[in-house]
Amino acid sequence: MKILLYIVLLACVAMPFEVYGQRDTVVLDEEVWDTGFDKNLDSLMQLWYVRNAVTPDSLKLPVALENDIIIPEYPDSVYIERLSRIPSVLPLTYNNIVRNYIHVYTKKRRDRLEVMLGLADYYFPVFEEIFDFYGLPPELKYLAVIESALNPRAVSRVGATGMWQFMFGTAKAYGLTVNSIVDERRDPVKSTHAAARYLRDLHNIYNDWTLVIAAYNCGPGNVNKAIRRSGRKKSYWDLYYYLPRETRGYVPAYIAATYAMNYYDEHNLSPGSISLPLAADTIMINDNLHLKQVSEVLQVPVKLLRDMNPQYKRDIIPGKSRSFALKIPVNHTLDFISLQDSIFAYKDSIFFNPSNTIINPTRSRYVPQAPTGRTKLYYTVKSGDTPGHISEWYHVGLSDLRYWNGIRNIIRVGRKLVVYVPPSKAEKYRKINSMTFAEKQRTIGKSVPVQAKAQADNSIPDDQDYVYYKVRYGDSIWEIARKFPGVTQSEILRLNKLSNSDKIHPGQRLKIKRKS
């Protein structure tokens, strides 16, 4: 591991790149990042607690703002000085790319940023406490802004889900439950614990927080590839042009988000008033529970419960499998405790219908109808018989024979089969049940190979009850059984104590029962 870490740490970058003060311009890869960010923002604005807090009028800028009078824009020296004042172990580098992203937050997405500022009051204390538990820098909380716009239901074009945008495999590797009922990638608390462990593991590899942020976005594989291609440089900005295009905008966006979340007031921005209750309680559920049961008994809007518990994709908490957490507004905690039995019992036959949990398949009572004008006979199945043989002997269709007797695959020796024949030929067909296999074959004009011929081919003496067959190259049990009418594969295997039809070899002697 030490060798691996050493190789990785020596592996980082620098191509000519513009930092503040250089005159050359750099094309901003803002469009790639904006696509996912805008999608997450649009999804965020559809959350119930956001829609109830933000009216269409509140998203309109005052005329003064529209005329660019009140929206301040500062010189680079101000941005540099402010970034330097933010306590952070992550280098908050400044350049024209960072400046452009600052303008994205403070000018282009002002209304949305105010919503995120309001949500930050709800989520950031949770993130900070968890990161502190794992010994991580609290400023990593700003990653959630650029990952998901603080939207717990965010889903990327490749399926990354939740505030921390976990892919399925990574989520499972870090202990998150993902199934058709529960997706803990959307659980703000559990997904943050998983994100903290993942970030800690990445830091153990790179020992550089900027590279950790880049690897969080594009994966350590892409960062390692960039390191190799760059000649094993050590700086993110040296690796910049070797990284995937989307990741190039990721670190600048993080730095800009850190700036905007700290200096929003200087840009005439203020946190939105979000109706998501800041005071919430967590109750562990040990039985199946539907959010509508809680909603209707406690008179809490079900949409609020969904947004407080976004991990339950179908409004069902599968508490029978293991304990799951339910978040509710703190003012309803005592009501839940006192009415717990009533909540679980409320419409339980509707939400968890017991008739859907124990269902036994019913046997078909359908009886095939006997064909009119036919005589009903019975035939007892003997060793070596097949449905095809029987249908030929009685001159009936194979499908009819199967239909009359409900035959699907094989027929067992001793079973009685129903056969319908014309009345005028009933006596003739009745005798078939007592004939030998050879006699039955002769009734349809087919000769039966003499067993002695198969024996003579192998020059092996026989006795009164058995024939001995010498296995030749390419023989199979099935082919051997066909040479002896009335003999089945299972008989050959049983007589010769073979457990597998493949366990025969050239020169082997097989004992075969004579048939009359």
Overall average pLDDT of the 156-168 stretch: 90
| Longest Cα separation, the chain | 115
Q: Read off the amino acid at residue 197.
A: R
Q: How far apart are CA 112 and CA 91, in angstroms?
A: 26
Give residue limits of the domains in the chain. Answer: 2-267, 280-353, 375-443, 451-513
- pLDDT at residue number 317: 94
183 DSSP 8-state letter: B
361 DSSP 8-state letter: P
225: left (phi over 0), alpha (psi -120 to 50) or beta: alpha
Buried b (16+ CB within 10 A) or exposed e, 169-188: ebbeebebbbeebbbbbbbb
Q: Tell me the two tokens of residue 160.
A: 């990354």
Residue indicated by tokens 């001793």: 414
Q: Which of 104, 111, 121 minimizes the C-alpha distance to 62?
A: 111
- pLDDT at residue number 261: 94
Q: How far apart are CA 71 and CA 105, in angstroms?
A: 12
Bridge partners of 466, per DSSP, are 513
Question: Do the two domains 2-267 and 375-443 of this chain adopt the same fold?
Answer: no
Number of H-type helices and E-type strands within the chain: 27, 8
Q: How far apart are CA 6 and CA 205, in angstroms?
A: 9
Max avg pLDDT among 244-248, 462-466, 499-503: 244-248
Question: Cβ of 212: how many Cβ atoms within 10 Å?
Answer: 27
Asked if 345 and 296 count as a contact pair (C-beta separation under 8 A), the reply is no
Q: Is 38 exposed, middle or buried (0-12, 13-18, 19+ CB in 10 A)?
A: middle
Question: Cβ of 379: how many Cβ atoms within 10 Å?
Answer: 20
Classify 375-443 by CATH class: alpha beta
- pLDDT tens digits, one per residue of 372-390: 889 999 999 887 788 888 9
Share of the chain above pLDDT 90, in %: 44
Which of the four pLDDT bands, split at 50, 70 and 90, describes residue 469?
Answer: confident
Half-sphere exposure of 195 (CA within 13 A, CB side): 33
Classify 451-513 by CATH class: alpha beta
Q: Which helix (H) or strand (E) holds 510?
A: strand 509-513
Cα–Cα distances in Å, from 112 out to 5, 24, 157, 190, 270? Answer: 40, 32, 21, 25, 11
Half-sphere exposure of 498 (CA within 13 A, CB side): 20
Q: Tell me the two tokens of residue 342.
A: 């009533």
- 3-state DSSP helix/strand/coil percent for the chain, to nearest 5? 50, 10, 40
Worst-scoring range by mean pLDDT, 15-24, 44-53, 64-73, 193-202?
15-24
Q: How far apart are CA 451 and CA 455, in angstroms?
A: 6
Query: Is the whole model's pTM more than 0.75, yes or no?
Result: no
Buried b (16+ CB within 10 A) or exposed e, 248-275: bbbbbbbbbbbbbbbbbeebebebbebe
Overall average pLDDT of the 198-217 stretch: 94
**Which has the higher per-residue pLDDT, 365 or 405?**
405
CATH code of the domain made up of 2-267: 1.10.530.10
- pLDDT tens digits, one per residue of 44-84: 655 655 665 554 444 444 444 444 547 888 999 999 999 99
Mean pLDDT of the chain: 81
Residue 23 has pLDDT above 50, yes or no: no
Bridge partners of 419, per DSSP, are 377
Q: Tell me the two tokens of residue 356.
A: 């859907």
Overall average pLDDT of the 136-163 stretch: 91
**3-state class of 318 per DSSP?**
strand
- pLDDT at residue number 29: 46
The 3 state secondary structure assigned to 267-313 is HCCCCCCCCCCCCEEEEEECCEEEHHHHHHHHCCCHHHHHHHCCCEC
Asked if 308 and 325 count as a contact pair (C-beta separation under 8 A), the reply is no
Overall average pLDDT of the 222-242 stretch: 91
Q: Which of 267, 272, 261, 258 minimizes the C-alpha distance to 114?
A: 272
Q: How far apart are CA 410 and CA 407, in angstroms?
A: 7
Overall average pLDDT of the 284-298 stretch: 94
